[in-house]
Structure 1
Amino acid sequence: MNKNTNQALNSETVMASFIGKKRFVWIILGIVAVVVVAAVVIPTTIILTNKKITTTEVTSTTTSTTASTRKSTSRVRRTSTTSTTTTTTANPSMRDWVETDSMADSRSVHTASVLNNGKVLVTGGLSDMIPLNSVELYDLSTATWARTNSMYYKRYQHSASILHNGIVLVTGGQGDGDCVVSSELYDPETEIWTNTGDMNTKRCLHTASVLEDGMVLVTGGFVDSIDHNSAELYDPSTGNWTPTGNMTHARRWHQASILNDGKILVTGGENDKGMMNTAELYDPLTKSWTTTGSMHDARVCHTASLLPNGNVLVVSGDRDDYLAELYDPITGNWATTESLRIPRTGHAASVLANGDVLVSGGREPGAYEIKSSEIYDLLTETWSMTDDMDCERYQHQSSVLPNGTVLVTGATNRITRTCNAELY
């Protein structure tokens, strides 16, 4: 091989070596670029994926519970008119609270009912200690509130029950002065209110429960410094009220839960003798009351939630009370379960679709409104804290919407005075 040939080969070798090194450098730079992009994109994707702000699934709808709270003998709220008459379930996949549209009127000690069309009907309540007869509807599809026709009477500490035909029965409560005996009906299709039969007794701080046969059972309550042990039944077919058997104990600020066998469990409350730990059962077939096992703790202003397994979870019951317990309808006995993380009264409770219970707001021992929330795990029977609401709330309502989100409305709040509605 001659000299020129060797030089040509050497040149080609050098060029190939240079090109190979250059290609290697570009490969290295490409790998580095991929690693950098992956380091940024993957964590961001994980964060966005974990940040859920909507729920897309609902399994069933049963009932929501809201606590009653007391402030004075005349300014108190019965929690559970909606909570005792209905049970709500929600899918707990949304873990954050998000503000939604505000009601036209700030209010507390009101009722909130999820209608068959999915809208939420809010009635009455107090606004700056002034009784209201105003009514509003929340539309989940637009996330907005709209006024609808007002009730005939101003009322708070009243009850609202959804009848089998979808019409809403509002009964009793306190108006400008005394507790009232009147009842009225709201038709969601026409948005018109009509008067119906008066109860036999004026009542505030009572409970109202829709029975399997469509009748509505109203129990206890308070008027003219007298606690009632009486109960009466509303017949939607006639619009009339008839007395039924009396409870063993007079009580107000109590809770009423509809059990799976159709009986009504009444728990706790208060009368002139003080707070009560007693419980009793109403049998719609015999129209009579029987006592059942007493709770371990006397309770007033508590919540009572029917769980998917048929047991009833009773939570708290005064500002110093962390305690929770379970009622077994089969044995008629109560068993203690893990205590809450934070004591509270005047809170709200909603049963989620997986059987867990969301408890929100209330007041703690310092008598200040709180915005904390916690969840009771049905399987482990333990409590854990979840996200705080944006606003401190007391005497509010908690409703489960058709898409599984939980809507919280109204509040007594001495810090910000008013609270927007929120979704969980």
Structure 2
Amino acid sequence: MNNTQFYPRVHMLPGPAGNYSGKIFYSGMDTQSWLYDPLLGTPIWQPFPASVTHARRDYGNSLLLPATATAGARVLIAGGQNTSANNYSKSLACSDRIGDLLQLCNILASSEMINFGQTTPQWVSAGSMTTARVDANSVLMPDGKILVVGGENTCCSAQPAGVLDGEPTCLPVYTAELFDSATNSWLATGIPAPSATSAQRPRQYHSTAVLLPDASVLLAGGDTDACQIPANCTSQYPNTCPSGQIYKPGYFFRGARPTITSAPSSITYGQTYTINTPNGAQVTKVLAVDPARSGHPCVR
């Protein structure tokens, strides 16, 4: 690649054998995406698509959507901050954590998708989130939808006195939303606003969200806003929120859920396996999900 990449988002592309299966795709944060073929005699990064086609998304989200036996891989990018390319100068008008979020706090609600099953894959609009956000978490749900939760979207007018580099200075987003890739639509989930009695906590920089075995989602940790530190997040560590929450999506409340009576404890690549359930007549689709893992809150 032709410039330094900060918090790169990379995905190994799955899908049927073809031009892209097994290749590594870099989706951002800068405006040019790249493709890497590890099987070439002399592997190199190639601009892909060849032209700059999507917004810069500092601290945005990138997610590889579910693969099928016949469809090509798809990558979704959403939110983030559209800053000047390769400009890492400091600004007091926005987050000053290490000088990489800058000038106008241009936080995005838009999202884009690229489909590698198409003859000529290109970035196209995937609609806009109901709320602009940066530093959010995204989780692939068992029903194929994408949960986006947490982050921040309103910056302080000036860096507060005494705030150190490494502390966020933006106000939290408490709402969550779901993306439906079948319709390219976003829908707010209706998570209640924070109050003195609610379980809501800010989930900002360095927070995490992971899918649990029962298909609920664990939200945990994160810095809190240095402009307005919530009383319910104080701890021995300044401006951190050492707590967790469980989010249960709507499919928890749609009648009895199927049960699994037996399944292998482990499987190997390419192995045929059997899962037994007394609800087989009602089951129309089975989704295999990788074990949860989480790093920086920009990519899963």
The superposition leaves residues 313-358 of structure 1 with CA deviations (integer Å, 9 ceiling, x where unpaired) of: 0001114210100000111100000337112202111111222111
1:344 to 203, 207, 211: 203
CA offsets per residue over residues 91-118 of structure 1, 9 Å max, x none?
Answer: xxxxxxxxxxxxxxxxxxxxxxxxxxxx
1:254 counterpart residue number: 60
Q: Summarize the alignment of residues 86-105 of structure 1 with structure 2, pairs less than 5 Å apart.
A: none
Secondary structure in structure 1 of the residue aligned to 2:172:
coil
Q: CA deviation at 1:372?
A: 0.6
Q: Return the match for 1:217 from 25, 39, 55.
A: 25
Q: Partner amino acid for 2:178?
A: L
8 A contact 1:206–1:254 mirrored in 2: no
Task: Check the 8 A contact 1:247/1:280 in 2, yes or no.
Answer: no
Answering whether residue 144 of structure 2 is matched by residue 310 of structure 1, we say yes
Question: Are 2:193 and 1:334 aligned?
Answer: no
Question: 8 Å contact 1:206–1:252 — kept in the other structure?
Answer: no
Change (3 A) 1:364 1:311: same
Q: How far 1:271 moved relative to its partner? A: 1.8
Instruction: Return closer, same or farther for 1:315/1:309 CA change in 2, 3 Å cut-off.
Output: same
- 1:361 aligned to which of 221, 228, 234: 221
State how far apart, in whole Å, the 1-side matches of 2:208 and 2:240 are. Answer: 13
Tell me, what secondary structure is at the counterpart of 1:257?
strand
Counterpart CA distance in 2 for 1:268 and 1:407 is 21
Change (3 A) 1:312 1:405: closer
List per-residue Cα deviations over 1:269-288 (Å, max 9, x = no partner).
Answer: 10235100010001123331
- 1:241: how far off? 1.0
Paired AA for residue 206 in structure 1: P
Pair 201,283 (structure 1): closer, same or farther in 2 beyond 3 Å:
farther
Task: For 1:370 and 1:211, locate their aligned partners in 2 and report how far apart those are by CA, in whole Å.
Answer: 35
Q: CA deviation at 1:405?
A: 9.1
Larger Rg: 1
Is the strand fraction higher in 1 or 2?
A: 1
Matches of 1:407 and 1:292, distance apart in 2:
26
Q: Which residue of 2 aligns with 1:377?
A: 248
Q: Deviations over 1:288-309 (max 9, x none)?
A: 1111110011110001111011
CA change 1:287–1:358 in 2 (3 A) is same
> Structure 2 CA distance, aligned partners of 1:314 and 1:405?
19
Larger RCO: 1 or 2 (CA < 8 Å, sep 6+): 1
Tell me the distance in 2 between the aligned counterparts of 1:276 and 1:218.
20
* TM-score, normalised via structure 1 length: 0.41
What stretches of structure 1 of length at least 5 have no aligned partner?
Answer: 1-198, 222-227, 383-401, 411-424
Amino acid at match of 2:38: P
TM-score (norm 2): 0.57
Kindly report the root-mean-square deviation, in angstroms, between the aligned alpha carbons of the 2 structures.
2.6
Moved over 3 A (4+): 379-382, 404-410
Give the drift of 1:364. Answer: 2.5
Query: Which residue does the alignment assign to 2:6?
Result: 204
Alignment size in residue pairs: 186
- Secondary structure, in 3 states, of the residue corresponding to 2:210? strand
Task: State the one-letter code of the partner of 1:230.
Answer: Q
Matched, 1:263 2:74: yes
Q: 1:205 to 1:237 in 2, by over 3 A?
A: same
Q: Is the 8 A contact 1:315 1:325 kept in 2?
A: yes
For the Cα contact (< 8 Å) 2:77–2:113, is it kept in 1?
yes
Distance 1:353 1:409 in 2: 18
Taking structure 1 as reference, are residues 409 and 333 closer, same or farther at Cα in structure 2, changes over 3 Å only?
closer
Cα distance in 2 for partners of 1:326, 1:243 equals: 30
**C-alpha contact 2:115 2:122 (8 A) present in aligned 1:** yes
Equivalent AA in structure 2 for residue 282 of structure 1: I
Question: Gaps (5+ residues) in structure 2?
Answer: 15-20, 68-72, 84-103, 153-170, 193-199, 230-237, 254-265, 267-289
Which one-letter code corresponds to 1:231 in the other structure?
S
Q: Secondary structure at the match of 1:327?
A: strand
Matching residue's letter, 2:54: T
* Matching of residues 167-186 of structure 1 within 5 Å: none
What is the alpha-carbon distance in structure 2 between the residues aligned to residue 407 and residue 219 of structure 1? 20
